[in-house]
Amino acid sequence: MVRRTIDNFDIAQICESGQCFRMQSQNENTYSVIAGERYLKVAWQDGEYIFDCEEAEFEEFWKTYFNLEEDYGFYISRIHPKDLYLKHAAEFGCGIRILQQDLWEMIVSFLISQQNNIARIRRCIQNICRQYGEERINAYGEVYYTFPAPERLAVLEEDTLKECNLGYRSKYVVRTARSIVSGEVNLNEIRQMPYPQAKEELLKLYGVGKKVADCICLFALHHLQAFPVDTHINQALEKHYKQGFPKRRYQGFEGVLQQYIFYYELQGQSKA
């Protein structure tokens, strides 16, 4: 059991921020997270977070996963004082951190995310894991499933994952799995690439466009300069940044600010 008081960290906001689809609320104060083969429960109690794992596992894995050593207060402090919209968005979502997640899982997750909502994406991924992942038992005696490896999905027919409610996205996932298994695209090499090169390489995958590639770069590769533009972000840009978002002012952490904007728009607070 690990207890921490952490500034700019809110597990509920992270869960609803659209970057992780295997995190869910257990009750008002407790969330569960599945990452790779690991399972974690995180609870909020008496002003601190309780991570239900050993100290060694927390230090070796979860601290990095939740990006806990990054100073998000610094990013917020850099927002231009006259940009009231961005200041409000950052204040509203100040507990969000950019998770460092598995590259393969993020590729599949954001292929599925196209023309989809968060609740449905979660169900699709849950279906895939139950059908093609490996069964595990957590410390509470509960069953959970690992995320299936590319090899597991590459052998499927292109339409097979329609049974998991992926619809037309089924062929995106299967063809991408085949590209990775065949060596046409090398995930280990992508992990070592700088942002522009990684994005270019990801765009070679079937079904991956610029927005999806940027999501993968931000949420798996931790390229904080990636700035995914979807419907919510487009609405914000059209309304508040008619000349375009001032990326040069926030060079190197544009993706953090993108998450504040996305969450603000998603929750509807900007329209209140």
pLDDT tens, residue by residue, 174-217: 999 999 999 999 999 999 999 999 999 999 999 999 999 999 99
Name which residue leads in pLDDT, 231 or 107.
Answer: 107
Q: Are 254 and 6 in contact (CB under 8 A)?
A: no
The mean per-residue pLDDT over the stretch 257-261 comes to 97
pLDDT tens digit string along 144-165? 999 999 999 999 999 999 999 9
Q: How many other CB atoms are there within 10 angstroms of residue 92's CB atom? A: 17
Predicted local confidence at residue 270, as pLDDT: 53
Mean pLDDT over the full length of the chain: 95
Which region, left, alpha or beta, applies to residue 115 given φ > 0 means left and ψ of -120 to 50 means alpha? Answer: left
Instruction: Tell me how far apart the alpha carbons of residues 225 and 256 are, in angstroms, rounded to a whole number.
Output: 8
CA–CA gap between residue 190 and residue 204 (Å, rounded) = 12
Whole-model pTM: value is 0.94
Could you tell me the two tokens for 90? Answer: 């950052």
Q: Give residue 46's pLDDT band: very low, low, confident or very high (50, 70, 90).
A: confident
Instruction: Give me the pLDDT at residue 125, please.
Output: 96
